[in-house]
A and B are shown apart, each in its own frame.
Chain A
Amino acid sequence: MSTVQLLQVVIAFFGSIFPAVLFNIDRKKIGWAGLSGALGWSAYLLVFNVTQNAIASTFVGAVVVGCYSESLARKLKTPAFEFLIPGIFPLVPGFTAYTALRYIAENNMSQALSKGVLALAVGGSIGFGIMLSTTIFKFFTKLKNIRLYGKS
């Protein structure tokens, strides 16, 4: 990772803390929420440096954020979305989506379409990343309960 990318990880940490304050997060968990965003963005960068593919990188980032939130939620006994929601903020394709809008305003429809589809795909991969990690965790929790208590 280059220095710019390290700086981005630090900004991702703070960029996850500030929205969490807007959602009135428990004061003791602010740091954990920030770590969620920083981890997600680090995973994004690691994959992006190899593949140069924003969609795949965002997917991996979202899976990491999801796994981190679900496991921390089980450890601290709080709802998982306290870390999930701040964590996805750095992954959101804000700049791409805005570029698509600007092309629409400039009447440049072919560019708008290509940027818009990219923004949609990145947004969708966040959704599927969260879905995948949450379902896996849900599946294994059920499996553990069945093994331990003989019921779900």
Chain B
Amino acid sequence: MEAKKVAEIATSAGEILLSNGAEAYRVEETIKKICSSYGFNGECISTSTGIFISISDQEGEFVTSVKRINLRRVDLYRVELINSFSRGLAENPLPYEEAKNKLREIYNAPNFSLGIRLLAAGLTAFSYAIFFNGGILDALVSLLISFGIYLLLEYISKIGSFQFLEYYLSGFIIGAVSLAIGSFFPQINKDNVITGAIIVLLPGVALTNGIKDLLYGDYVSGFAKLGEAILIIVAMSVGIVTALSIFMKWF
């Protein structure tokens, strides 16, 4: 196969990996593995926002490809599919068309429907409200709030990338709604409601992947991801504190 086509396959595999929350070393290793399974020598640098690939063939010609990644979400299933795709290529290098089809299939792999994800978000809040010693009533309120928050996040992320706004608003709404409900119904403890609801917003993936990137020596993307996690936590905290300090006077 020509170097150009290999570069195309490697780039789209890397794009799927990076935009679905894989670590930098995984992106680099996968791209190198794909190149070497077609008999080329590939080099790759991945940061948290883009991939640079350079492939050299036997005559010493270089093919270079750069891809900027804008969409960033978390999808462990797609990362796993690409992982097994590149393992399979090493044993049996597929022809160009087949590999392209396989990648398209992975790109369109099934996701949980919005209803199930909504339910999962609600039940996450529900379990953690109880986990931190809350009652069933606190947990139910927490569940309802996180329904709303998840819908809001889904809506804002469709418009564009407004990470700070998303998390600030969510924190603010969680704080304000819990305070209001807690003051109208004295049997509900607002502290337990809030702790349950904020767990859904936790940047767990950015945090763990940032640490892993640092361990593998990818300092650029490691600190970028840790910075992203800190930004999310700060935005959320500032939102909650704003809501609490404004409304505590009234309720």
Are B87 and A77 in contact (CB-based, < 8 A)?
Answer: yes
| Interface check B23, CB cutoff 8 A | yes
Option from B77, B191, B194, B211 in Cβ contact (under 8 Å) with A127: B211
B215 & A14 in contact (Cβ 8 Å cutoff): no
B71 at the interface (CB under 8 A from A): no
Asked if B63 CB lies within 8 Å of chain A CBs, one says no
In the docked arrangement, what's the CA distance between A22 and B132, Å? 21
Asked if A138 is an interface residue, CB under 8 A from chain B, the answer is yes
Do residues A94 and B128 form an inter-chain contact, with CB atoms below 8 A?
yes
Interfacial residues of chain B within 111-153, with CB under 8 A of chain A in the complex: 111-112, 116-117, 120-121, 123-124, 127-128, 130-132
Q: How far is the CA of A124 from the CA of B87 in the complex (A)?
A: 34
Main secondary structure of the interface of B (DSSP, over half): helix
In the complex, are the beta carbons of A11 and B117 less than 8 A apart? no
Residues A98 and B195 in contact, CB atoms below 8 Å apart: yes
**B-side interface residues, number (CB < 8 Å):** 49
| Interface positions of B from 3 to 25, Cβ below 8 Å from A | 21-23
- With A8-B131, A11-B130, A18-B127 known as contacts, the answer to whether A24 contacts B199 (CB < 8 A) is no
Stretch from B78-86, B92-100, B156-164 forming part of the interface with A: B78-86
Q: Which of B22, B74, B76, B124 contacts A18 (CB 8 A)?
A: B124
Is A89 an interface position by the 8 A CB rule?
yes
Residue pair B241, A105 in contact (C-beta under 8 Å)? yes
A104–B237 Cα distance when bound, in Å, is 10
Instruction: List the A side residues contacting B227 at CB < 8 Å.
Output: none
Question: What 0/1 readout, one digit per residue, does chain A (68-108) give for beta carbons within 8 Å of chain B?
Answer: 00000000011101101100111010110111011011100
User: A12 in the interface, Cβ–Cβ < 8 Å?
Assistant: yes
Q: Is residue B198 within 8 Å, beta carbon to beta carbon, of the partner chain?
A: yes
Count A interface residues, CB 8 Å.
Answer: 41
How far is A51 from B120 in the complex, measured between Cα atoms in Å? 34
A79-B199 in contact (CB<8A): no
- Which residues of A in the span 36-88 have a Cβ within 8 Å of any Cβ on B? 77-79, 81-82, 84-85, 88
> A126: nearest residue on chain B (CB-CB)?
B207
A24/B112 contact (C-beta < 8 A), A94-B198, A102-B244 known: yes
Contact of A81 among B191, B194, B202, B209 (CB under 8 A): B209
Q: Is the CB of A135 within 8 A of B241?
A: no
A residues less than 8 Å from B191 (CB atoms): 95, 98-99, 102
Q: Which chain A residues in 95-144 approach chain B with CB under 8 Å?
A: 95, 97-99, 101-102, 104-106, 127, 130-131, 134-135, 138
Beta-carbon contact of A26 and B205 below 8 Å: no
Q: Are A131 and B202 in contact (CB under 8 A)?
A: no
Q: Can you list 14 A-B contacts (CB < 8 A)?
A: A11-B130, A11-B131, A18-B123, A19-B202, A22-B117, A77-B87, A78-B80, A79-B26, A94-B132, A97-B237, A99-B191, A101-B237, A102-B244, A105-B245
A residues neighboring B (CB under 8 Å)? 8, 11-12, 14-15, 18-26, 77-79, 81-82, 84-85, 88-90, 92, 94-95, 97-99, 101-102, 104-106, 127, 130-131, 134-135, 138
User: A-B pairs with the 3 shortest C-beta distances?
Assistant: A105-B244, A21-B120, A18-B124
Other than A81-B208, A105-B240, A105-B248, give 19 A-B pairs with Cβ distance below 8 A: A8-B131, A14-B123, A15-B124, A15-B131, A15-B199, A18-B124, A19-B120, A19-B204, A21-B117, A22-B124, A23-B21, A24-B75, A24-B112, A25-B76, A79-B26, A79-B80, A81-B212, A101-B237, A135-B215
